[in-house]
Structure 1
């Protein structure tokens, strides 16, 4: 009876090992591909706010999540502004690199570290 249990254990362990190895290899081959950086422009903000007098601003260069679209009442794009809204970085990636692209900062303490992946 001991040999049968040992044989079953060895077979189960072998099967689990091969499943784990194939899962690891599948995950490794599906690693995200870095596509490149984001180009955040006035057009980026226009596309996301549907407002003409708008520009992208960084409120804090040491915070990746501090990008905003600032909406102005006049085409001067300076002085008092009406309001700010966040920028959807994944939409920026999709517009630059196509469907399925997504964004992630390489360093959350750097506003300029955003990259796009697929």
Structure 2
């Protein structure tokens, strides 16, 4: 859960529960009273306006609408697995959580489908 009062990290000492330094991309402020579920590293959010719809409607294009996607990197404290979260601004219509390996694979396949990898 992202805190509504999120601020970039300061030079404050690390909380006592912190067992590792922040990765260079982490912008999340870690506090002594963070709930264990909130103890994760988080990268700066990128906003991406897209047009998207639902695949359970016929025709699918009938549900197309403007959506703002937020993309950010994360990793739980004490874990090696990093991920990319891709979420719609309304937090209900789209949410993907991909490992970095899966995100790279998705990028490769998107490039192929768009004909920008030189193989189309």
TM-score range, shorter chain: under 0.3
TM norm structure 2: 0.23
TM norm structure 1: 0.23
Structure showing the higher strand proportion among its residues: 2
Structure showing the higher helix proportion among its residues: 1
